[in-house]
Amino acid sequence: MREIPEEEEEERDAWIRALRERARQDVEDMVPRPRHPVYGLAAPALTPAALAEHTRVNGQLTSITLAYGDWDATEGPYVCVITSATGAFAAPAAGSTTMDGEQGEESLRFAIDDERDRIAALSQDAAEPDPAEPPVVFSRELLLIGPALGGPALVGRSGTVWAARLRPAGADVAVTVTIIGRGLALESVRLQTVTELRPMFEARNEIIGARIERARARPRPPLPELEPAEGVAALRALAENALVTHGEIHTAVRARRRPRHDPGAGRLRSALWQRAVAEYQRLRGTDKRTADEAVTLAINHLGFLLEKAPWFTADPRLRAAATDETLRHVMLADRVPSEAAQDAWALYWTGRQMRHRDLDPNPADLLALMAARQAQTDDCLRAWAVWTETA
C-alpha cells in the first residue's frame, strides 16, 4: 500500500498544465500505428467518439480503448471497445488474459466492476450496491458486423452493465476485443475496424480539457465533519480508516473481484489526513511538508505490515500493539520496544522516496535498487518478527 497525501493547490495547477501538454503530445506520439487492427463502434451511432486509454510496450501501442457516448452520462448509452494485442511482441496487460476459462471470466468481472466504479465516481450519491451474486458469465454466439467478427464470445452481465470478450479470426496479429456498455442492448452493437486514430486522440483532448475547466469552475465539496481527536488519536483515526479500506481491497482480491469505489471515501480520507497533519505540526512544531511526510511514512508502514506480516492480521493483540507503537513513535517521537523495526522502515521509506526522484536509471542500477529495496524490507520484517517474541 502506498498512500498519496493531499496535493497543494499550486501542485494541482502544475499537474493540470502537464496533463494538457501531454494530451497535445499524444496526438503526434501515436505514430507509428499499432501493429494490430483496432476495432471500434459501427452501430449504433454514439457521440462523442474518442480514445479513452492506450498502453505501450517497447514503444508500440498494444492496447487501445475507444469510448462512444457521453462519458459523464451515468445512465448511458455508453460503449467502450478495447483492442488488446495478444501476439508475441505484446506483454500481458491488464485484462489481456485468455478468453476462455476462469481467466476470461475474471477479466470480464474486472471490466464490469471498472465500469460500475466509473459511474459511481460520477454520481453524487452512494455507490451502486454490489449485486447479491457475481456477474453471470457464459458463452454464446455473438454476431457482429465487421471483418471476421462473428463467432463465439464470452458475455457477462451485472446490473445495468454488460461486457463481452471475443477474438476476431484472420488478423495478422492476434487480438482480443472487449466491449463494455450500459444503456443499450449488447445485441444492437456492431463493430468495424478503425483506420484513423488521430480524430479519436483529438476528441479525447477536447473532452479532458472540458472536464478540467468544469472541475476548476466547480467549488470543491466541503470535507465531512469529524469526531474530535487530537494528537495520536487523530493519526489513529486515519490509520484505522486506511487499514479498513485495504482490508476490503484484500477481501475483493481474494474473491477475484475488483474493489468497489465509494464516492465519499476520498473526502473522508482527506479530512482525516489533513487533521493528522495539522496535529503533527502543532505537537512537533514543523512545517506542513515535513508533517505530511511523517504521516505518509506512518500510514504506509502500517499498510506494509498488513500486506507482508501475517501476524498483523492473525493476532489482534499484536496488531493493536504494533499500531500503537508506530503511531506514538511518529507523532510523539516516543521510544518504543519496536524501535529497531521503526528505524528499519524509516531507512527503507526514505530510500524509496529518493529513488522515485531518479530519472531513467539504467538496467544495472535498477536491479541494484530493487535488490536494496528488498533487503531493507526484509530487515524491517525481521525486526518486527523479533519484536513479536516479547510483545
Task: Give me the chain's average pLDDT, please.
Answer: 78
pLDDT of amino acid 8: 47
Q: Mean pLDDT over residues 4-22, rounded?
A: 55
- The angle formed by the CA atoms of residues 55, 127 and 166, to the nearest 5 degrees, is 40
Q: What is this structure's pTM?
A: 0.60
Domain ranges in the chain? Answer: 31-206, 232-388
pLDDT of amino acid 17: 61
Q: β-strands 60-68, 49-57: how paired?
A: antiparallel
Phi, psi of 42 (to 5 degrees): -95, -35
Q: β-strands 60-68, 151-158: how paired?
A: unpaired
More reliable by pLDDT, 238 or 108 = 238
In total, the chain counts a number of residues equal to 391
Q: Mean pLDDT over residues 288-312, rounded?
A: 94
* Confidence bin at 88 (pLDDT 50/70/90): very low
pLDDT of amino acid 256: 63
pLDDT of amino acid 170: 59
pLDDT of amino acid 92: 36
Above 60 in pLDDT, residue 73? Answer: yes
Encode pLDDT of 214-255 as tens digits.
777 777 777 788 889 999 999 999 999 999 887 777 776 666
Above 70 in pLDDT, residue 119? Answer: yes
Percent of the chain with pLDDT over 90: 32
* Window from 187-201, 278-292, 374-388 with minimum mean pLDDT: 187-201
- The angle formed by the CA atoms of residues 2, 258 and 133, to the nearest 5 degrees, is 150
Above 50 in pLDDT, residue 11? Answer: yes
More reliable by pLDDT, 248 or 316 = 316
Can you tell me the distance from the alpha carbon of 119 to that of 78, in angstroms, rounded to the nearest whole number?
11
Above 90 in pLDDT, residue 32? Answer: no
pLDDT of amino acid 25: 61
* Confidence bin at 193 (pLDDT 50/70/90): confident
